[in-house]
A = this chain, B = another copy of it.
């Protein structure tokens, strides 16, 4: 991730404002962490409001931040004013999502004029240990500025 181009600060600010408008991210306790060209990471600390029946993170909360991470990674590829919408995504759950927090990465694989394809990775982290919880793919469609 260290070879990523830094984003223009005004662009980064606009994207962080877009994130702040996602009521669900606030409700889940998610934070937009890294934002670079083609990359976005989002973290979400554990709380009982995020669990499934066994007390692990529910796949739904996990997929919520994975979807947003991919979306904002995609948004870094387009000019200010554009937006993106998710066309589809697919996640494989690899290991129980159990830990102090989840960290998800959205990586742009290909940014086209209309469609952008991202890879999604989700990790559970607890005091330095890290488990790969999920891997996924996502297709975004660009909505040009009106």
Contacts from A to B (Cβ < 8 Å): 18-19, 21-28, 47-54, 58-61, 63-65, 67-68, 83, 85-95, 109-110, 114-115, 117, 119, 132, 135-137, 139, 141
A94 touches B117 (CB 8 A): yes
C-alpha gap A86/B115 in the complex (Å): 12
Chain B residues lying within 8 Å of A21, measured Cβ to Cβ, are: 51-53
Supplied contacts A88-B91, A109-B132, A139-B139, 14 more A-B pairs, CB within 8 Å: A21-B53, A23-B49, A24-B52, A27-B27, A27-B50, A53-B83, A59-B67, A60-B63, A63-B63, A87-B115, A88-B93, A88-B137, A90-B90, A92-B117
Q: Measured between C-beta atoms, what is the minimum distance from A100 to chain B in Å?
A: 16
Chain B residues lying within 8 Å of A63, measured Cβ to Cβ, are: 60, 63-64, 67, 89
Chain B residues lying within 8 Å of A60, measured Cβ to Cβ, are: 24, 28, 60-61, 63-65, 67-68
B92 touches A139 (CB 8 A): yes
Find the residue from A50, A67, A92, A135 having the highest chain B CB count within 10 A: A92
C-alpha gap A22/B60 in the complex (Å): 11
Chain B residues lying within 8 Å of A139, measured Cβ to Cβ, are: 87-88, 92, 139
B83 touches A87 (CB 8 A): no
C-alpha gap A60/B61 in the complex (Å): 7
